[in-house]
Structure 1
Amino acid sequence: MYHRREYPGGRLLILPRPLVHEALRRPPTSHLLVTDAGYFPHATRHARSRLRGSPQAIVIMCTEGSGWVEMDNSRCDVEAGQFVIIPPRVPHSYYADPDKPWSIWWLHLAGSDLPALLSAVGLTPERPTGLMADPIRLVELVASICDDLAADETQASLTAAAGAAWHLLARLAAERSNRAGNHQSIARVQTYMRENLATPLSVPALAAMAGFSTSHFSARFRDATGYTVVEYTKRLRMARARQLLITTRDPIADIAHAVGYTDPLYFSRQFTAVNHLSPTHFRTRSLEEQVH
């Protein structure tokens, strides 16, 4: 398995193609297989162009910054909180924005069940982007796929990665149903929360933004995301803190302020509760992993 980091703090995992051919001939990976996966933070000058397309479907989830994808002679901009699906064998190009390059989690997928799963998600080359209603869970799934592929090349690891990929596509399909069920107001609030991590956020103010009473908003928010507003805010802030710990040398106190905590000690306790590592230990371990 090929495994390296192309961007500081990033990940890149590619299965050997002989192993891909073998895995696609035996169940359960014949039904769905992750052939490549990774994470590119702040991917300056990141670009790909495939005139004949890719043999696999490509899923790209943008968590920060922006970029664009070109298919069928048309360009579609991609912003933070959106995902893109490029079907197999469709010629395409995609690029990180030169001024605010995207941070993306991505994977390549193959298998006999892939067409039905992509159909359920509902994107097309003409309309290839969708809004991630619950980016935290989706990113956790792709991160777990990377962990599985990084472990080894056994059938068990490939099957575990395939299971997480199935879950990912199922959630994207479910979010399509949620969007059809008029969850756009919740999605708008989630976008605001992601873009204003350092701003104090009150549930009544967010409810007013969505046009609901506080109690109705809280119920709908939990239904859409699986989290309370407070827990969702904390996880958004911790995800951003992890990125800053990996990609910058900023002091812990500055990172705490950047993600909305005025008390660095309280931030450290919250970070440790979520990650089971203190911010300092998390940064140290990440640096050690980059060296090895």
Structure 2
Amino acid sequence: MKNLGYYNGKFDELEKMTVPMNDRVHWFGDGVYDAGPCRNYNIFAIDEHVDRFFNSAALLDIVMPLTKQALKDLLQELVRKLDTGNQFVYYQVTRGTGIRNHVFTPGKGNLWVTLVPAEISDGTTPIQVITEPDTRFYHCNIKTVNLIPSVMAAEHAKQKGCKEAIFYRPGGRITECAHSNCHIIKDGKLYTAPTDELILPGIARAHLIRKCKELGIGVSETPYYLKDLMNAEEILVTSSSNFCLRVDYIDGQKVGGKQSALFEKIRKTLLDEFLQATN
């Protein structure tokens, strides 16, 4: 297969898959998801992603239809059905199926999986971004499928020829990006927003922090602001699709580029970890 869709035990090419109209995701966006890269049919950091997936569901009282190990076994089975081993693996669970009603539908959730061919960026090409007011709710730490603010911000970035949008809250506090985490290098140290209800605790973010500590680079998980972003020595963007990207323009203004050697050390370390884990 070139791609694959899965829904509650049934699978086929994405274009041939259908789901019930009364899945609660259609009425309320009532579900959570997770996703990550696969290389050579090896799903990277699967334990961390599945743990976060189950935690997101638990925070919203969604009943998982299978165990963590059963999900990991299923995902490993499904990736083998594609023609290429380099894929992006997405999975979500919705609260269930029933007539539209705001109160919960009793029972187990519905499991969705999609697999599409994908390659990981090596992070050598810097990106341009925009800044965007963060209009999201206060459950950003839960990876829900309610992504309208992120969708609109991503579209605004695209319209301006940019790759990502960096969110800020009233007062200028930087939270994260439309579909990534954001960090800065200042005085040779990594600064990243704390994992409170305003950001998603990214898996790539966790790997970045861990590798910086291994490299002897100081890490501070504290709030930082628009002025810090614009004056940073480097601005880094991380996600499960792009482990470490460097920003060179924000809202058309040249930024960063003052710690190129340090960025390269971080970038290479993260990429090497991925390549070694997926051989």
TM normalised by structure 1 equals: 0.28
Pick the structure with more helix per residue.
1
Relative contact order higher in (CA < 8 Å, ≥ 6 apart):
2
TM normalised by structure 2 equals: 0.29
Pick the structure with more strand per residue.
2
